[in-house]
């Protein structure tokens, strides 16, 4: 087999990654698939609240929002986008937070007062508000508007000005949640797995490149595999070992 790789990658590393990922893909065939989110607002909330916390807390935040406003959480079909009339819009999210204020929205609706950073961070609910206003200003309201984000580099630049978003990790994850299969979320869990597997340090850009190449190499055996799917497989594996590399639950004084 001819291995696809980036110009600076090591062919032995490509082989090592394939050997590590194939068993995960084989096991994944027996796991129940979860459909994507129904609305872009849920993608945004998930992306911001997922940073540096265990995912059970994120699921609770999304569920609380959906229950408060009687929204459908997941699509009936992953193959097609829901009609606009069946989605929650960014404009509605902005109005809801404006009406209550970020403090009350965090406490009463999301029931989560986590901050973007334990030091001088803002409420994640406030970060969602600021980011939603950026999206609204650029005409992004529904999942069908994601191409607008991809064509406008200014949106990402403005995202990164919001406290806690400078690294761009949550922006990438937001796009992944909307259905961008070519992206990965280079968080600590993914980087730790890659570093242990390859026995070297791995940067965020390298993680993206490594899994992009790995997906290309694996398609002869798994035709539909994507970098995002590989990221999810690794994440599911790593979350089963919280003592190894998962961050601790945020202290109550921080949330």
Q: Tell me: do 44 and 168 sit in the same domain.
A: yes
Q: How confident is the model at residue 52 (pLDDT cuts 50, 70, 90)?
A: confident
- Residues 221-249, mean pLDDT to the nearest whole number: 78
Number of domains in the chain: 2
| 184/208 Cα distance (integer angstroms) | 6
Residues 222 and 241 grouped into a single domain: yes
188/155 same-domain check: no
The reply to whether 23 falls in a domain is yes
| Reported confidence tier of residue 243, pLDDT bands at 50, 70, 90 | low
- Report whether 227 contacts 175 (CB < 8 A): no
59 and 102 within one domain: yes
Residue 29: per-residue pLDDT: 66
116/161 same-domain check: yes
Same domain, 19 and 73: no
DSSP letter at 200? S
The vertex-43 CA angle with 232 and 173, nearest 5°, equals 45
Any idea what the CATH number is for the domain that residue 58 is in?
1.10.340
Nearest-10 Cα torsion for 71, 77, 78, 79? -130
Determine, yes or no, domain membership for 252: no
Quick one: which H or E segment has residue 82? none
Tell me how far apart the alpha carbons of residues 25 and 46 are, in angstroms, rounded to a whole number: 25
Tokens describing residue 27: 């096991």
Same domain, 153 and 57: yes
Per-residue model confidence as pLDDT tens digits over 140-194: 999 999 999 999 999 999 999 999 999 999 999 999 999 888 888 888 899 999 9
Check whether residue 62 and residue 141 sit in a common domain.
yes
Mean local confidence (pLDDT), 198-220: 93
Residue of higher predicted confidence among 249 and 211:
211
- Residue 209 has phi, psi (to 5 degrees) of -65, -40
- Is a pLDDT exceeding 70 seen at residue 252? no
User: What span, in angstroms and rounded, lies between the C-alpha atoms of 172 and 255?
Assistant: 24
Structure tokens at 112: 């989560």
Q: Are residues 48 and 173 located together in one domain of the fold?
A: yes
Higher per-residue confidence, 198 vs 181? 198
Domain around 194: 11-34+183-245
217 located within any domain: yes
Task: Kindly report the pTM of this predicted structure.
Answer: 0.81
Q: How confident is the model at residue 224 (pLDDT cuts 50, 70, 90)?
A: confident
Buried b / exposed e over 98-108, threshold 16 CB at 10 Å, is eeeebeebbee
Of the candidates 178, 208, 234, which is a domain's last residue?
178
Last residue of one domain, picked from the residues 178, 201, 228 = 178
Question: Which residue(s) pair with 37 in the sheet?
Answer: 74
Task: Tell me whether residue 152 is in a domain.
Answer: yes
Instruction: Indicate if 57 and 82 belong to the same structural domain.
Output: yes
Domain boundary among 150, 178, 206: 178
Q: Same structural domain for residues 207 and 238?
A: yes
């Amino acid at each position: 087999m001819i291995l696809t790789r980036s110009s600076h990658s090591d062919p032995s590393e490509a082989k090592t990654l394939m050997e590590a990922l194939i068993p995960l893909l084989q096991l994944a065939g027996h796991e129940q698939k979860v459909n994507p989110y129904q609305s872009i607002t849920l993608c945004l909330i998930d992306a911001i609240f997922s940073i540096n916390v265990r995912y059970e807390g994120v699921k609770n935040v999304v569920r609380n929002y959906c229950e408060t406003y009687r929204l459908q959480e997941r699509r009936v079909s992953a193959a097609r986008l829901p009609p606009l009339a069946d989605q929650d819009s960014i404009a509605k999210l902005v109005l809801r937070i404006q009406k209550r204020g970020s403090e009350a929205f965090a406490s009463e609706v999301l029931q989560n007062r986590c901050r973007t950073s334990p030091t001088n961070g803002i409420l994640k609910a406030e970060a969602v508000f600021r980011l939603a206003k950026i999206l609204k200003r650029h005409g992004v309201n529904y999942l069908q508007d994601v191409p607008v984000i991809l064509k406008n580099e200014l949106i990402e630049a403005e995202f990164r000005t919001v406290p806690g978003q400078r690294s761009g990790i949550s922006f990438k994850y937001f796009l992944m949640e909307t259905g961008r299969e070519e992206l990965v979320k280079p968080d600590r869990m993914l980087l730790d797995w890659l570093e242990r597997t390859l026995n070297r340090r791995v940067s965020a850009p390298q993680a993206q490149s490594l899994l992009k190449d790995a997906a290309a190499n694996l398609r002869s055996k798994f035709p539909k595999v994507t970098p995002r799917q590989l990221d999810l497989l690794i994440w599911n594996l790593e979350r089963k070992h919280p003592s190894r590399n998962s961050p601790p639950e945020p202290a109550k004084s921080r949330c």
